[in-house]
Structure 1
Amino acid sequence: MSLAQKIQEAWNKQSNWLVLLRPFAYLYKKAFDYNKQAYLSGRKKVYHAPIPVMVIGNITVGGSGKTPLLIALVKYLQKKNIKVGVISRGYGGNGPFPMLVSPTTSVASVGDEPALIVSLTHVPMSVGANRQKSIELLLENHPNLDFIISDDGLQHWALGRDLEWIVVDYKRGLGNEKLLPEGFLREPKERLQKSTVIEHFSTEMPDKTLSMYLQIGKPYCLNETKTIFHHEQRFHAVVGIGYPERFYQSLNQIGVKDIQKHAFEDHYEYTLSDLIFDDNHPIITTEKDAVKIKAILQNDCTSKVNREVWVLPVEAILSDSCYLLLQQQLHKFNIQI
């Protein structure tokens, strides 16, 4: 287990020894506040796009469900004939940046989340650490866009934004409510008072709240033509996301009880050896991991991964209140839904 995974585990357990990291949390806050104030005061330039920009992010380290939320919003806007585009940092990709993303773009170039987003929505998208250049490239190639959604970038103060939606995992909460690295907060909890907060529930949620949950889809096999999924067999649960526990909970919900856990760091770059085990039990993974694993399987000319690789898809289901609020917010920018 890496140091990052050990700290992640300590955050989840709210271990007492994390108090030893408080001096580093103090330094983190000082640096964070200084950087933020530099943009707010005008000492550093903030870029404002010519069309409205919405940032979907979180104030915590680890998965909160922002990417499934973004995908759900993109599909909704597309159905309403709103010309929406997406930008992302492209974490884990090797560029060159900024870069447009298409369904045929390699995951190695743009990262796992952009590859997944475009594969499921075919939305116009560009990636790169410089959000301004990403937006300019996107608009250069898609000049008729009405609206842009930024996948993460909540703490990227150089990017001006018109709307902010912050996803908070209801069950995980804010942990010990401490900043990095003593806790898993990127920003103080007071930040939630200044943005739209979407609560991510484990199962169906009260419809009157701004909330969402992940609906589990039918598992599909990535490297075989098999369509029958046997939940009672033993699986190797291979996962490289910010909060692996949610994946294990999803497996439990569909009756998969017997798993051997193989948790890797978020955005982990898989190799062939990560998929080879001393037995014939199948692998089950997330869609985010599957975009990278699929590339490995396609390059496995010797068929060393001689087992089924199953993918568990999920879809964000939003409360009606979320869509009603989105309509009201976009109406202010003359975007009619």
Structure 2
Amino acid sequence: MNRAQHWLTAAYSGSRWLVPLYPLGILYRYLMSRRERAYLHGGKTVWQAPVPVIVVGNITLGGTGKSPLVAWLSHWLVSQGWRPGIVTRGYGGKGAHYPLLVTASTDPAISGDEPVMLAQQTGLCVVADPQRVRGARELVGRGCNIIISDDGLQHLALGRDIELVVVDGARGLGNERCLPAGPLREASDRLSRVDAVIVNGDLSKPLPVPTTPMQLCPQRWRCLEDNHARELTPLPFTLPVNAVAGIGHPERFFNTLRGLGIEGDMRPLADHQRFDAEVFRFDEQRPVVMTAKDAVKCRDIAPADSWVLEVEAVLPPEFEHWLAVKLSALSERGCTHG
């Protein structure tokens, strides 16, 4: 376990060695609240796009399931007649020029892994840019009439019409303290000011706000070597396996594998970790399974017998209806689509 994973485990489990950091957490909370007020009251500039903006974010560090929700939202919006585009930070990318238009074949070393994955999964216009406003302007210029801001909750310079926050049901808000004393990017009362709180998986501890359930359901296997899809069952590989996961919450992926009856050597890696041949050095040679996010980084270096588990978010019809009503109200205010 690397240092980042060790700290995340402590923050979510409430380890007492974080107690001396509590005063810093209080200071961080104050600074974030002060920053939010500056944007709300005109002390800092907010750019409001001429099209609706939907933010998908979280208030905790570590993976919560934002990307599957972004993919689901992308497909749903297209089905409703919108022309969505996605703006994202492109964490881990080393792009020299922004805004960066990301396609399914973009080198993830330039754009980051998540933008490439989203481009592959959605087929939409995806723009990576550390300055979300600049990226959003690029999407508008390319004809998108609604913008999805991936992991954009704290990027307040970009105005938003709908805020969706994803919470990992298993880990919740951890010890409910702000960085560096806990996993919170913002105080937990921020949840009461967003439009919807979406819980990924079963909720282990109640939240103080109404929530919408989301499940990540395995759909198919994809052979990394030939990119061909296979049915979930029967398994297209032998057991046991070597599994790798360089995501915010690797254990969630490993639990999904176990739920499919898959056991083996499960190797957690750092979120957004770069892949090299060393990642695939295991004690025994076996089939390798991984996430779609990891797959974009290692097609040329992964063993031949490597498989990607494709998952999709499933949300209740009530949420779809709620979202349709929200967007209809925005259209009536002048943000039309079609």
Asked if these proteins are the same fold (TM beyond 0.5), I'd say yes
Q: Kindly indicate whether the alpha-carbon contact (under 8 Å) linking 2:251 and 2:268 is maintained by their aligned counterparts in 1.
A: no
The 8 Å contact of residues 177 and 183 in structure 2, kept in 1 or not, is answered as yes
Contact 2:55 2:163 in 1 (8 A): yes
What does 1:11-90 align with in structure 2 at a 5 Å threshold?
Answer: 11-90=11-90
Q: CA-to-partner distance for each residue in 1:4-47, whole Å, 9 max, x for gaps?
A: 11101212332122212212212322332232232223222111
Q: For 2:324, which of 317, 322, 327 is the aligned residue?
A: 327
- Render the CA deviation track for 1:128-170: whole Å, top value 9, x for unaligned: 1101111122222x23x22111001101111111110111122
Within 2, Cα distance between the matches of 1:318 and 1:197? 12
Q: Does 1:242 align with 2:242?
A: no
Total equivalences in the alignment? 322
Provide the C-alpha distance between the structure 1 equivalents of 2:2 and 2:275, rounded to a whole number of angstroms. 15
Q: Aligned ranges for residues 29-178 of structure 1 at < 5 Å?
A: 29-95=29-95, 96-140=97-141, 142-143=142-143, 145-178=144-177
For 1:235-278, what per-residue CA distance to the aligned partner results, in whole angstroms no more than 9, with x for missing partners? Answer: 22111111111101100110012x22221111111122212334
**Aligned residues of 1:180 and 1:186 also touching (Cα < 8 A):** yes
Alignment of 1:288-327 (within 5 A): 288-297=293-302, 305=303, 307-327=304-324
Contact kept in structure 2, 1:209 and 1:321, CA below 8 Å: no
CA contact (8 A) 2:117 2:292 kept: yes
Partner of 1:139, secondary structure, is: helix
CA-CA distance at 1:209 after TM superposition: 6.5
Distance 1:60 1:327, change over 3 A: same
Please say if residues 12 and 182 of structure 2, whose CA atoms lie closer than 8 Å, have aligned partners that are also in contact.
no
Find the aligned partners of 1:226 and 1:189 in 2 and give their Cα distance: 41
Equivalent residue of 1:280, what SS? coil
Seen in structure 2, the aligned counterparts of structure 1 residues 249 and 231 have a Cα distance that, compared at 3 Å, is farther
Instruction: Please give the alpha-carbon distance, in whole angstroms, between the structure 2 residues aligned to 1:240 and 1:164.
Output: 27
The counterpart of 1:220, out of the listed 210, 219, 222, is 222
Q: Say if 2:275 is the partner of 1:270.
A: yes
TM-score normalized with structure 2 length: 0.89
Q: CA deviation at 1:183?
A: 1.5
For residue 102 of structure 1, report the CA deviation from its aligned partner: 1.7
Is the 8 Å Cα contact of residues 232 and 255 (structure 1) preserved in structure 2? Answer: no
1:180 aligns with: 179
CA contact (8 A) 1:231 1:254 kept: no
**TM-score, with normalisation over the residues of structure 1?**
0.89
CA RMSD of aligned residues (A): 2.2
Retained in 2: the 8 A contact 1:231–1:255? no
Q: CA–CA distance in 1 between the matches of 2:238 and 2:105?
A: 35
Stretch deviating more after TM superposition (184-193 or 229-238)? 229-238
8 Å contact kept, 1:330–1:336 = no
Which contiguous aligned blocks of 4+ residues in structure 1 show a shift greater than 3 angstroms? 224-228
Q: Flag structure 2 segments of 5+ consecutive residues without an equivalent.
A: 204-209
Alignment correspondent of 2:3? 3
- Superposed CA deviations along residues 268-309 of structure 1, whole A, max 9, x for unmatched, are 111222123343112111011111111444xxxxxxx4x511
Q: 1:39 to 1:336 in 2, by over 3 A?
A: closer
Q: Which residue of 2 aligns with 1:255?
A: 261
Take 1:91 and 1:76, find their aligned partners in 2: how far apart are those partners? 25
1:210 aligned residue: 212
